[in-house]
Amino acid sequence: MWKWIGVVVAVIIAGVTGYWLSLDKNIRYLMLNQPESTNVLFWTTAQRDAGFQTLEKLDVIPFNIIEKGKLSHELAIEQPLVVADDAIEKFFKEQRIAGLVVLQNGELRYEKYGLGLTSDDKWTSFSVAKSVTSTLVGAAIKDGYINSLEDKITDYIPDLKGSAYEDVTLAQVLTMTSGVAWDEDYEDPNSDASKFNFHTPEPGIDATVSYMHLLGRANPAGTTFVYSTGETGLIGLLVSNATGKSLASYLSEKVWSKLPVQQDASWLLGPTNQEISGCCIQATTRDFALFGDFVLNGAQVNGASIVPEDWFASATTNQVELGEGDGYGFQWWTSAKGHFEGKGIFGQGLYIDPEHQLVIAVNANWEGAMTPASYQSRKAMYQYFAELFANNSDNKVASN
């Protein structure tokens, strides 16, 4: 009998061991080193290293799938970019880069990975998603779901009536000039940015709307720029309300299914099952770059843009002046020099330079949400790649 008991125990141990080893290594790490907070803003660097590439696999936070289409993914480096390896290594170290993809004229010119990420792995976008959400507003206007950027936001989100957003226009929310008070401090657990995704709403009210309804007015609408992730939550909700579709399904319909992306992407959901539209798209770094190239080329599908003709002329140029030529457009960080960016905390980035037909997608995990040294290194890296194309004819690829 003892022999049979020993055999059974051995089988159980083998089964448990096999299951444990079958788990993704990052999930194993998080199981052994569980975060004290459910808010990723307060995870350790190592926990974020593991978590940012496994948010789908953890299956803890619900998400909607952004379905890809039938186009085959054929990115391959045919003309390698001539770079200084020591410069790239320095950027990777200073920024703790997980994925870096450089496209020029739609061609893959450079690709490198770190922090255990590969070209097949997904990483979370943080606020780069804001620029995606903005593009869906343009698509909804082109499709006739939204009339004008001068419409009041309460026309599309009636539950905001009676709040500080009563007379705020869509354009003012897109440019974050609503004048409504907001605190985007990522290090303060009591800031609006830290709390709003964990807010318990009244029955039948969207969680973001419920939270934003509590806010007061700080400045007259249209006069002052205040960066507010909560307002992008409102933008996403107005698109869903206007179209009658989830953001994930509308993004798939208008964009993702039209691109030669590697994989389906996903979009995390908030407490009331609305996509967190200011954050949290999971995709490969290559696929983020392909979205950037789509925008660079006017968001065209079969020769026709999915957005109004003048959309990107406004969306990606300075609607708000922030000094030294820098500005903010429709959820894009803009520059008088002509390039524009999607930016996410902890080092997520999408850099688009029309002059050099250049797109750079980068995923990372900085030591802090807004680490100044890493931020300066990021600016230097973008400049480094732009100058490679400006100053070295060997690095240029003719436009298609």
Contact indicator for 68, 257 with CB cutoff of 8 Å: yes
Q: Please report the pLDDT score of residue 38 as a whole number.
A: 85
Residues 194 and 306 occupy one common structural domain: yes
For residue 60, is it within any domain? no
In this structure, the answer to whether residues 257 and 198 fall within a common structural domain is: yes
Does 69 share its domain with 46? no
pLDDT digits (tens, 9 = 90+) for 130-187: 999 999 999 999 999 999 999 999 999 999 999 999 999 999 999 999 999 999 999 9
What gap in Å lies between CA 30 and CA 47, rounded to an integer?
A: 6
Q: What is the pLDDT of residue 17?
A: 58
Distance CA 3, CA 183 (A): 66
How far, in Å, CA of 149 to CA of 242, rounded? 13
Integer Cα distance of 113 and 101 in angstroms: 9
CATH classification of the domain holding 288: 3.40.710.10
Q: Are residues 42 and 71 in the same domain?
A: no
CA–CA separation, 324 and 154 (whole Å): 35
Residues 12 and 91 in one domain: no
Which two three-digit tokens encode residue 271? Answer: 């407490």
Is the pLDDT score of 19 beyond 80? Answer: no
Q: Write the DSSP symbol of residue 63.
A: E
**How far is 217 from 293, CA to CA, in rounded Å?**
38
**CB contact burial 175-209 (16+ within 10 A = b; e otherwise):** bbbbbbebebebeeeeebbbebbebebeeeebbbb
Are residues 197 and 257 both part of a single domain?
yes
Tokens standing for 364? 């990372």
Judgement on whether residues 14 and 81 belong to the same structural domain of the protein: no
**With 0-12 CB in 10 A as exposed, 13-18 as middle and 19+ as buried, what is 12?**
exposed
Burial class of residue 67 in the structure, from the number of CB atoms within 10 Å of its CB (0-12 exposed, 13-18 middle, 19+ buried): middle
Alpha carbon of 237 to those of 70, 174, 245, 303: distances in Å? 28, 13, 10, 29
- Are 36 and 76 within one domain? no
Verify that 214 and 298 share a domain, yes or no.
yes
Give the number of other CB atoms < 10 A from CB of residue 26: 21
Q: What pLDDT sits at residue 58?
A: 87
* Residues 269 and 365 both lie in one domain: yes
350 has a pLDDT exceeding 60: yes
Domain that includes residue 44, residue range:
2-50
Domain assignment present for 55: no
Question: Per residue in 117-127, pLDDT tens?
Answer: 999 999 999 99
Whether 56 maps to a domain, the answer reads: no
pLDDT digits (tens, 9 = 90+) for 328-344: 999 999 999 999 999 99
Q: What confidence tens digit (pLDDT) does each residue in 227-276 have?
A: 999 999 999 999 999 999 999 999 999 999 999 999 999 999 999 999 99
Q: What is the pLDDT of residue 10?
A: 45
- Per-residue model confidence (pLDDT) at position 324: 96
Same domain, 251 and 303: yes
Domain total of the chain:
2
Least confident of 21-30, 181-190, 208-217: 21-30
- Cα–Cα distance for residue pair 85/89, rounded to 1 Å: 6
Question: Does 290 reside within a domain?
Answer: yes
Evaluate whether residue 330 is within a structural domain.
yes
Q: Are residue 18 and residue 125 in the same domain, yes or no? A: no
Residues linked to residue 124 through DSSP beta bridges, in sequence order: 282
pLDDT at 273: 97
* Per-residue pLDDT reduced to its tens digit, 76-104: 999 999 999 999 999 999 999 999 999 99
Q: Which residue has the higher pLDDT, 389 or 20?
A: 389
